């Protein structure tokens, strides 16, 4: 089996523009949740969001993108800007330039849900009396709305000539895109794949989750007994996956190893998880089986951990199905407590969090945690990052449609797996 390694990664999140800022935010217990001012959210059940504020094209972001040959085009909307910024950082870390990617051996597999929805809905919702949307909407706004557009933009700015696709499986989109990239390399469809996910805040998703009463009007409290819902966030993360031999041959520094991928359908309900946690368990077990690892090798789980009453308890049950009694003391935190739930981007952002924990020797915390839920018998790494040598981890993402996915990631120096 081809060994797949991660040679670069970049992240744009509500608690840090770039992975080292993100790491500082994670370690410092930062919380990027606040009142949304991207649009008027005052009439919603919750007006909170994990919003990225201001122009993200800071000097540091521009410098990274310039070094990697990524132009940071703004005309395709916020989501595309986040994606390009994360891509620039990932390429720079991998020691690559956009011009290196046109070899036909490099592919692109990206995840997301919203693409240019924020820009499109702005025109619709801002119509004045007597105006017809179809008379005034710029064609550009229509064209940037389909979710595949983010990948289109990344293709254009990189010149990638290999296979390209977009996966949209709601909150597990990026995790599945990363898993697909791994599969492409294993199947010989590409030897390097740019993977990740991006989603921007928009009224559509904010309204939808509000209507479903899945949002909190307070900071999200994953795994806490008083948790009452999620807060929607936004962001992007991009990873460079490579065939280990190819990475080694070009002298790339390996940031992490991608050992396994599990994905399955719950076949249960459109929005609710199986109460016994068996769907979550199947994804985690699938990632372990794919990696050829015993559950005892896992040091940490970056949980889906949305802070909804149902998700967190079923995810914990799933962990107990896989890890048995060991789940009680197994660190399993939710970085969504810090970033908000970045939906189709979350899987990639959370793998970045795992890699940063491995690099800097810490476990990201679950902030705003105060009260143990008797039904959630895990170690949520409450409130403060914990110093730890992190060797092998799982990163979970569970989605509408009952789509569960989990990735198994290892520190580059840990010898495990097939």
Partner 1 sequence: MTAEPVITALGLLTPLAVGREAFAEAWRAGASATPIAEGPTAGGYAVPKFILRKAFPEGRALMRRMDRLSKMICMAGALARDDAPGLGDVQGMAMGVGTDLGTLEMTWAFLCRLRDKGPELANPNDFPNLVPNAGAGYLGILMGARGPSHTFCQHSTCADDAIAWAADGVLAGWFEAGLAGGAEELGPIRAKAMERAGCPITEGPAGEGGTMVLVESRTRAEGRGVTPLATWRGSWGASGLRKGSPLKREVDPDAVAELVKLAVAKSGAGDIGVALLSREDDPALVEGLRRGLGRDVPLTDHGARCGIHPADGALRAALASMLLSDESLPVNRGGEARSGPAALLLSAGRGGGLRVSVLSEA
The helix/strand/coil state of 113 is coil
CB-CB neighbours of 238 under 10 Å: 33
Is residue 231 within 8 A of residue 49, CB to CB? The reply is yes
What is the length of the chain?
418
Q: Residue 162 or residue 347: which is nearer to partner 1 going by CB?
A: 162
User: How near is the Cβ of 211 to partner 1 at its closest, in Å?
Assistant: 4
User: How near is the Cβ of 386 to partner 1 at its closest, in Å?
Assistant: 33
Which helix or strand (DSSP H or E) is residue 347 part of?
helix 346-360
Of 303, 382, 308, the C-alpha closest to 350 is: 303
List the structure tokens of 397. Answer: 């993402």
| Whether residue 411 lies in the annotated active site | no
User: Which residue in 31, 113, 171, 408 is the catalytic one?
Assistant: 171
CB-CB neighbours of 246 under 10 Å: 16
Q: Which residue has the tokens 């949305």?
A: 306
User: How near is the Cβ of 194 to partner 1 at its closest, in Å?
Assistant: 11
User: Which residue in 206, 320, 341, 411 is the catalytic one?
Assistant: 341
Is residue 314 within 8 A of residue 281, CB to CB? The reply is no
Please classify residue 180 by burial: count the beta carbons closer than 10 Å to its beta carbon, then call 0-12 exposed, 13-18 middle and 19+ buried. Answer: buried
User: How near is the Cβ of 39 to partner 1 at its closest, in Å?
Assistant: 11
Q: Residue 104 or residue 275: which is nearer to partner 1 going by CB?
A: 104
Please classify residue 213 by burial: count the beta carbons closer than 10 Å to its beta carbon, then call 0-12 exposed, 13-18 middle and 19+ buried. Answer: exposed
User: Which residue in 31, 65, 113, 304 is the catalytic one?
Assistant: 304
Q: Residue 331 or residue 340: which is nearer to partner 1 going by CB?
A: 340
Q: Residue 33 or residue 399: which is nearer to partner 1 going by CB?
A: 399
User: How near is the Cβ of 164 to partner 1 at its closest, in Å?
Assistant: 5
Beta strands in 294-410 (DSSP E): 300-302, 332-333, 362-363, 386-387, 392-399, 403-410
Q: Residue 208 or residue 382: which is nearer to partner 1 going by CB?
A: 208
Q: Residue 184 or residue 300: which is nearer to partner 1 going by CB?
A: 184
Residue 129 to residue 174: CA distance in whole angstroms: 40
Q: Which residue has the tokens 């040598």?
A: 389
User: How near is the Cβ of 234 to partner 1 at its closest, in Å?
Assistant: 17
Residue 160 to residue 223: CA distance in whole angstroms: 41
| Whether residue 171 lies in the annotated active site | yes
User: How near is the Cβ of 304 to partner 1 at its closest, in Å?
Assistant: 16
Please classify residue 400 by burial: count the beta carbons closer than 10 Å to its beta carbon, then call 0-12 exposed, 13-18 middle and 19+ buried. Answer: middle
User: How near is the Cβ of 329 to partner 1 at its closest, in Å?
Assistant: 30
Q: Residue 47 or residue 338: which is nearer to partner 1 going by CB?
A: 47
Residue 125, sorted as left (phi over 0), alpha (psi -120 to 50) or beta, turns out to be alpha
List the structure tokens of 395. Answer: 């990163």
Using only the alpha carbons of the chain, give its radius of gyration: 20
Q: Residue 163 or residue 292: which is nearer to partner 1 going by CB?
A: 163
* Burial state string for 321-339 with b = 16 or more CB within 10 A and e = fewer than 16: bbbeeebeebbbbbbbbbb
73 phi/psi in degrees, rounded to 5: -70, 135
| Whether residue 65 lies in the annotated active site | no
- Positions annotated as catalytic residues are 171, 304, 341
């Amino acid at each position: 089996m081809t060994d797949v390694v991660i040679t670069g990664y970049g992240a744009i999140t509500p608690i840090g523009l770039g992975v080292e800022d993100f790491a500082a935010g994670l370690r410092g217990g930062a919380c990027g949740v606040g009142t949304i001012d991207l649009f008027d959210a005052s009439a919603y059940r919750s007006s909170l969001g994990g919003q990225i504020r201001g122009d993200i094209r800071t000097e540091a972001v521009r410098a990274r993108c310039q070094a990697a040959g990524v132009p940071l085009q703004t005309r395709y909307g916020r989501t595309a800007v986040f994606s390009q910024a994360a891509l620039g950082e990932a390429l720079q870390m991998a020691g690559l330039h956009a011009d290196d990617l046109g070899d036909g051996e490099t592919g692109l597999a990206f995840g997301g849900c919203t693409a240019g929805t924020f820009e499109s809905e702005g025109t619709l919702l801002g119509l004045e009396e007597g105006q017809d949307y179809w008379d005034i909407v710029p064609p550009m706004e229509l064209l940037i709305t389909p979710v595949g557009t983010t990948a289109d933009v990344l293709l254009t700015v990189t010149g990638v000539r290999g296979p390209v696709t977009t996966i949209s499986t709601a909150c597990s989109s990026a995790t599945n895109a990363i898993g697909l990239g791994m599969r492409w390399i294993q199947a010989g469809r590409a030897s390097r794949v740019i993977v990740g996910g991006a989603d921007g805040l928009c009224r559509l998703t904010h309204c939808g989750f509000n209507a479903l009463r899945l949002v909190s009007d307070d900071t999200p409290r994953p795994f806490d007994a008083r948790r009452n819902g999620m807060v929607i966030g936004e962001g992007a993360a991009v990873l460079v996956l490579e065939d280990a031999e190819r990475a080694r041959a070009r002298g790339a520094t390996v940031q992490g190893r991608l050992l396994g991928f599990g994905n399955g359908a719950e076949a249960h309900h459109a929005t609710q998880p199986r109460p016994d946690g068996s769907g979550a368990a199947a994804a985690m077990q699938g990632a372990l089986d794919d990696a050829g690892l015993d559950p005892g090798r896992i040091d940490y789980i970056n949980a889906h951990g949305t802070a909804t009453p149902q998700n967190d308890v079923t995810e914990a049950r799933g962990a107990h199905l896989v890890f048995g009694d060991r789940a009680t003391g197994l660190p399993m935190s939710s970085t969504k407590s810090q970033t908000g739930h970045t939906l189709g981007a979350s899987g990639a952002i959370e793998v970045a969090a795992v890699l940063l924990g491995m690099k800097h020797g810490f476990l990201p915390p679950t902030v705003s945690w105060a009260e143990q839920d008797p039904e959630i018998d895990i170690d949520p790494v409450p409130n403060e990052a914990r110093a730890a040598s992190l060797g092998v981890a799982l990163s979970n993402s569970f989605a509408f449609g009952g789509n569960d996915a989990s990735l198994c990631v290892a520190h580059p120096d840990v010898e495990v797996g097939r």
